[in-house]
Structure 1
Amino acid sequence: MKSLRHLAVALASIVSLAASVSAEDTRPNIIWLMGEDMGPELSCYGHPAIHTPHIDALAEQGTRFTQAFGTASSCTPNRNAMMTGLYQTRVDLQDQRRTGITLPHPMRPITHILQEAGYYTAIGCGYSQKTDLNFSVDNLFDGRDWSGRAEGQPFFAQITLYESHRLTDGWKKITETATRPVDRDAVEFPPYFPDHPVVREDWARYLESIQYIDNSVGEIMQRLEDEGIADNTIVIFIGDNGQCHLRGKCWLYDAGLRVPFIAQDPTGNFASGAVNDDLVSTIDISATILELAGIAVPDYFDGRSLIADDYTPRQTIFSARDLVDEVMDRIRSVRTDRYKYIRNYTPENGYLDCRYVQQNRPMYPVIQELHKQGKLNAAQSVFLAETKPLEELYDLQNDPYELNNLADSAAHASIKESLSKQLNTWLEDTGDKGLEQMRRIEKLSRGGAADPASYLSEFQKEFEKRWPKNRRITIAAHGHSVPTGYTTGGVVKPHDAYPHLLEAALAERYPHAVINVIPTGIGGENAINGSFRFEKDVLSLKPDIVTIDYSLNDRHLGLRNAREGWERMIEAALQQGVKVLLLTPTGDWKADMTSPDDPLTQHAAQVRELAEEHGVGLVDSYQSFLDHLEEHGTIKPIMAQSNHPNRQGHQLVLDELKNWFPGL
C-alpha cells in the first residue's frame, strides 16, 4: 500500500507536469557519477596505497554503502538495469552487446520519467557521454550539460568517469602524468594473483586511474560551489561494475559485482558520515533517484528506493552473466550477506575463452608463464581452468575471495538447496529472457538448422530504420491450408493464422518498419504442387524471407516425392538470395504423433534433415505440438479440427517463429 508520502509525491508530480517550470522550483539537482570498471578500491573503503580525497569527502558528507552489488558484472547489462530499474534479464537486455531493442510498454528509462516531471536531463557535462545501452529511445537526454536548462529548472546529470576502464595503453599515460604515484610496494591485491612485479605494476596503475577519477570528482564538486548550487545538488557516486581484472569484470564473483556506492545529499535524505552495511543492488539507484526528485516510483520497478518510508533491506542479491562479445556464457547467482551460490549453465566454457578477458591485461601472460613453470599455488591457478563447475557455493564470511567451493560439501547441502530454490524462484518471477533464449537455441540446434541468433540478423537493422531510410521487408508464407488460416467447415480465419500473428508481432516490436507478411498457400496442396507455382506465385513477390509448410498434406505423396518438391523450392529460393525457414507440420489428433513410424512424424523428421542439409532455418512446430500433447494428454483444445489448429495452436507456431527474430 502506498504511503501518504508517496501520495503527496504523486500529487506534486501532477502539479509539476501541469505547470511550466518556474524560478521557485526548489527541487534538488541530482548528479549521478559513474566510475568505469571499478570496485571499492578507495581510501574511504579502507583500501591501502590509494589516495582519493574528493570521493572520501563525499563519503564524509554523505552515506557510504559497503555492500552494493551489480545485477551484472559488465557495463552494458548493468547500465541497462540501472537506467530502467529492471533486471536486465526481465526485458531481454542481458547481453553485451546487442542493440536496437525496444522496451515493452510501460517500461522506459528514468530520464524520460524525470523529463516528464520537469527535470532537465544532461549527459557528460564535459566528461564521457557514454550510455552503452541495448535499447533504443528518442531524446534519452535533453542536452550535454546542465547549463542548457531553463532558469530555475532542476537538472539531472549522468556523468561517466571513464579513466578506470582498462585502456589500450594499460593506463600508461595516466601513470606518466600521476601527481601522486602509487607505491608499488604498498599495494595489496587478491591472493589469487601471484606476487610479481608485473602484477604489482598493473594493480598500481589501476589505482592511479581511480585517483585520476577522484580529481575529476573534485572538479565537478568545485563547479557546483562556483555556481552556487552545491547546497541543493545531490551527488551519487557508483561503479558501473566491478574491477577490470582477471576474475573480476565479466564474472559473478564479488570482484566483478561489488561496486562503490556513495550518496551525498545536502537536503538531508542521506545522513552525513554514515556507513550502511545493507545489501544493495545497483538497480536500486533508479528508484532512489526518482524518490529524491519527488517522483513516484513506477510499480513495475525491480529496484527499491533506499529512502522510501517502507524501505526494508534486501536479503538477497541476484546477478546474471550472458553474452560478452563473442562468447555466450550463461551464469546466474544469488548472494546473501554470508553465502553465494553460482550456477554455470555452460560449464564447458573455461574462464579464458572470451577474448575480452585477455585484452590489454599484462597479468595474463605472466600468470600463464608462471603456471608453466609450476610456480603458482592452487588459488593462483584457478582462473586457468578449462572448464567451470556446474555449481559453486562460497562462505563469504570465511572465504571472501571465493576460492573454496562448498557445492559438494554435505555440511552445506541445506544451504545450497535453499539458495538454489531462491534462484529458481527469481528466474521464474522475472521470466529470464537469457535462459529462454538459451533453451530455444539448444532445441533448434538439435535439429541441425541454421543458427537462429544470426540467420536473419541482416534484417535487424532494417527493422530499426525509419522513413525515408527504411525499405519494405517481405515475408512469403508458402504452404497449404494451415498458413492460409483454414479452421473447420471451410471457414478461413487468416487473422488467427501464424503469418498474420507474426506480422502483428513484428509491427508491435518495430513500429517504424514496413513489413509485409503475405500468405501464398492453397488449401489441400502438397509440396509437389507448391513447387510448380513457387516461382510464379512466391519468388515474383521478391520476398526477403520465405516460410515453407507442406508436410501435413505430404503424407499422401510419400517421403521421396515430398523431398523432391521441398528441395525444388529451397534451391530456387536460395538461388535468389532469399532466406528460408522450413516448418515441420502442426499437429493432427488422428495421427499417432508419439510414434516414430507415423507418417507425420517421419515427414517432420525429413524437414529437419532438409534444414540441416541446406543450412536453412528450422521452425519445429511439430515438436511444440508434441510437447503440448505430452504435457496435456491431448491437442484438441488447440485445434479447430483434427488437422487445423485454432488461434491458440497457431500461437505455438508463432512462438517457434520468434526464435528466428531475436528482437521478438
Structure 2
Amino acid sequence: MRWALLLWPGLALGTASIVYAQGNAVESDSARPLNIIWISVEDMSPWLGCYGDTLAQTPNLDALAAEGLRYTQAHATSPVCSCARSTLITGCWATAIGSMHHRAGKPSSAAVKRNPAAYAAIPSYEATPPPEVRCFPEILRLAGYYCTNAAKRDYQFREPVTVWDQSNGKAHWRNRPNPSQPFFSVFNLATTHESRTFPKAKRNPKVTDPAHIRVPPYYPDTPLVRQDLARTYDNIAAMDQQVGEILGQLKQDGLLEETVVFFFADHGVGLPRGKRSSYASGTHVPLIVRLPGGKSAIVERLVSFIDFAPTVLSLAGIQPRDWMGGRAFLGKHEVKGRPHVTIHADRMDSETDRTRAITDGRWRLLLNLMPEKPHLYPVAYANSIPMMEDIKSLQAGGQANATQWQMLLTPKPPRELYDTQADPHEVYNLIDDPQHAERAAALEENLRVWMQATGDLGLLPEGEMVRTKLWPPTGQQPTTEPVTVTSDHGLACATPGASIGWRVTGAKVWWVYEASTVLPEVPEIEVVAHRIGFKPSKRQRMTPWD
C-alpha cells in the first residue's frame, strides 16, 4: 500500500490541516471503485410492502426493492442486536469469539437495579477473537475507502480507533475530505426498536388502524395486542421516511449509480416471541440490495449475517479474509451459496438460556439445550412492552389455547421441528412425527457439526469461558503492548494481532498503520495499539524519524 501526503487548496501545512489518502484504488469492474452503504434498522421482520405485507406503508423501501435484489431467505445469526452486530463487523461467528451473550460488557446501573442477584454472577468482559481478526472497515480503509458509522456500534468489544474515519451521530459520506474518494457508510436507524412501543416512548404518527391488524395465532387477540402491533407498523412507516431521506441525499449527490445500497434489519421484530427467540419471527430479516443500474430480482439464496463482511470486501474487489466464516454472495469473489443457516441464542441481559437452530429455508430445527428455561426470556426490559400484560394474564389464568401455550411452556421440548412453508408461524412442532424423523436427524447432525467446527463457546459456563478461552489463565483482561519505533523509522507492537493507529498530533482522524506505511515528517505524531478484546495501549506522542 502507498501513503500520500495531500495538501488541499487553501490549507496551510499545520498539525491539524494535513489530510492523508490511504491505500491504492481498489479493484472493481468499473473505472471507479463502488461506494457501499448499509442502512440497518432495529428489531424488524420482513413487514414491508415489497415482501407482500399489505398493511405496511413503506413506499421508499418498495421503490428500492423495485430496483434491487430482494432476498427472501436472509437470516440474522442471533435474535438480538449485540451478538448479531459482532458477527457483522468481524465476519466471525459470535459463538467462536465469545460474543454470543447479550451483553458481555458492564451492565447499566438500571439493569443491575432490576436484578442485582443475577448480575452478581455474570462477569464483565469483551469478546476476544483470534489475533488475525480485524473489524472489516479497517481493511476497506487500507484499500482507500472512507468509512463512517452513524452511530450504533454494540459489537461486544471496544473497537480500535483504526476502524472508522468517523463514528458518531453526524458520520456521513459527505464529510470525506476528497469527494472522489470511495466510501463505506453505515446508517443505523433506531425508529423500529422495541423500546419505541413502550408507554413512555415518543409516538410516531398513527397511520395504522388496529382493527386491520392480523394478529399472529400465538398472541391473544386483545385491544392491547392490536395496539402494540399497530404501533410497530407506525414505527416502520416512520423508518421508511428516514430511508427515503438517505436515498434522496445519495441521488442529490449524483452517487446512486456508483453505490451499492444494502437495507436490512439486525434481527426479527421487537415483540414477544420475535426478538430473543430462534424462530423465524426472531431471525428472518428483510434484505434489499440495490446495485448500480437498478437490476431487479427476487433472490431465494440463503444468506446469513456471517456472509455480509466477505460480501462487502468482494464488492470492493478485495479478497475476503481466511478468518471470515461466511460466503460472499455478490461481487468479484462471489461463491456458491450455503445449504443451511445456523442460529444461536444465549444469555439475554440477566437471563441465561441456550438454543441452537438451523434452517434450510423451509425446515427449521431448534435444539433447546436448557429446556428447563421458559420460551419467553423473563427479561425485565422486554416486560415493558404493554402487550406482555395480556400474555401474562393469559398464562396466569390458564386461558391460552394450544397454539398460545406453545410459547408459554416450561419446560420447553428439547427439540423442535417446523415446516415453515405449511406452518409459517411455527406453531406445530413436528419433532415426534415419524415421517419427519430422518429430516430432523439430518438437520441436527449438520447443526452439531457446525457447533463443533466453530468451537461453540456458549457450551461453557460464562466465567470459565472468560478464564480459559478469552483471557487465560487468570481471566483478567490483558493490555496491548505499547507502540515502539523500528530501526527503519516505522512502528511496531509486540502484541500479536494489534492494530496500530497513528495521527498527526492535534488531528481528529486516526490512520491505520501497516508495514509499508511511510510516515510524514511532521513535528509529532500520536500513536496507539489495540488488539480486539484487550485494553488498548497507552497513547504516546513521538517523532519516529529522529
If the length of structure 2 is used for normalisation, what is the TM-score?
0.74
Out of 68, 71, 78, the residue aligned to residue 74 of structure 2 is 68
2:304 to 281, 285, 288: 281
Q: Distance in 1 between matches of 2:144 and 2:283?
A: 34
Partner of 1:160: 188
> Which structure has greater helix proportion?
1
Looking at structure 2, the residues matched to 82 and 429 of structure 1 have their Cα atoms a distance apart, in angstroms, of 20
1:173–1:331 distance in 2 versus 1, CA, 3 Å? closer
Which of 1 and 2 has greater Rg?
Answer: 1
- Residue number in structure 1 paired with 2:132: 106
Letter in 2 for 1:148: N
Asked if residue 59 in structure 1 is aligned to residue 65 in structure 2, the reply is yes
Cα gap change, 1:368 to 1:137, in 2 (>3 Å): closer
- Find the partner of 2:363 among 330, 334, 339: 339
* Correspondence 1:425 to 2:446: no
Please say if residues 101 and 136 of structure 1, whose CA atoms lie closer than 8 Å, have aligned partners that are also in contact.
no
1:434 aligns with 2:458: yes
Q: Which residue of 1 aligns with 2:175?
A: 148
- Equivalences for 1:172-571 in 2 at 5 Å? 175=203, 177-178=204-205, 181-266=207-292, 268=293, 272-308=295-331, 311-356=335-380, 358-437=382-461, 463=478, 510=534
Q: Does 1:135 align with 2:157?
A: yes
Relative to structure 1, the CA distance from residue 79 to residue 51 in structure 2 (aligned partners, 3 Å threshold; closer, same or farther) is same
The 3-state SS of whatever aligns with 1:58 is: helix
Whole-angstrom distance in 1 between the partners of 2:398 and 2:217: 17
Distance 2:439 2:244 in 1: 45
Question: How far is the alpha carbon of 1:303 from its aligned partner?
Answer: 1.5
Secondary structure of 1:220's counterpart equals: helix
One-letter amino acid of the structure 2 residue matched with residue 64 of structure 1: R
- Residue 163 of structure 1, CA deviation: 0.9
Given that 1:164 and 1:206 are in contact with CA atoms closer than 8 Å, whether structure 2 keeps it comes out as yes
How many Å apart are 1:26 and its aligned residue? 1.7
Contact 1:48 1:188 in 2 (8 A): no
Counterpart Cα distance in 1 of 2:256 and 2:457: 42
State yes or no: 1:29 paired with 2:35: yes
Specify whether residues 321 and 373 from structure 1 end up closer, same or farther in structure 2 by C-alpha distance, changes over 3 A only: closer
Q: Work out whether residues 43 and 193 of structure 2, in 8 Å CA contact, stay in contact via their aligned partners in 1.
A: yes
Looking at structure 2, the residues matched to 510 and 452 of structure 1 have their Cα atoms a distance apart, in angstroms, of: 14
Task: Find out whether 1:93 has 2:99 as its counterpart.
Answer: yes
Q: Is the 8 Å Cα contact of residues 174 and 208 (structure 1) preserved in structure 2?
A: no
Cα displacement (A) at 1:353: 4.4
Q: Deviations over 1:134-189 (max 9, x none)?
A: 123322211122223131111111110101001266277654x41x6112111223
SS at match of 2:83: helix
After TM superposition, give the deviation of residue 226 of structure 1 in Å: 1.8
Equivalent residue for 1:49, pick from 45, 55, 59: 55
Stretches of structure 2 lacking an aligned partner (at least 5 in a row): 2-20, 106-125, 483-530, 539-546
The one-letter code matched in structure 2 to 1:313 is G
Tell whether the 8 Å contact from 1:48 to 1:187 is kept in structure 2 after alignment.
no
Matched residues in 2 for 1:226 and 1:397: separation? 42
Q: 1:335-388, CA deviations, whole angstroms, 9 ceiling, x for partnerless residues?
A: 112211111111111124431464321111112223444543111222222221
Structure 1: runs of 5 or more not aligned = 1-9, 11-15, 442-450, 468-506, 515-664
Q: Which residue of 1 aligns with 2:87?
A: 81
Q: Cα offset for 1:419? A: 1.2
CA distance in 1, matches of 2:25, 2:394: 66
What is the match of residue 116 of structure 2?
A: none
* Shift in Å, 1:300: 2.2
8 Å Cα contact 1:70-1:240 kept in structure 2: yes
Structure 1 residue 234: Cα displacement? 1.6
Q: Describe the shift of the 1:19–1:315 C-alpha distance in structure 2 as closer, same or farther (beyond 3 A).
A: closer
Distance in 1, matches of 2:434 and 2:239, equals: 46
Query: Contact 1:71–1:281 (CA<8 Å) still a contact in 2?
Result: yes
Work out the CA distance in 2 between the residues paired with 1:59 and 1:511. Answer: 43
Shift of 1:59: 0.3
8 Å Cα contact 1:67-1:278 kept in structure 2: yes
Q: CA deviation at 1:230?
A: 2.0
Distance 1:256 1:415 in 2: 23
Note closer, same or farther for the CA distance 1:45–1:299 as it changes in structure 2 (3 Å cut).
same
**Distance between the aligned counterparts of 1:349 and 1:228, measured in 2?**
53
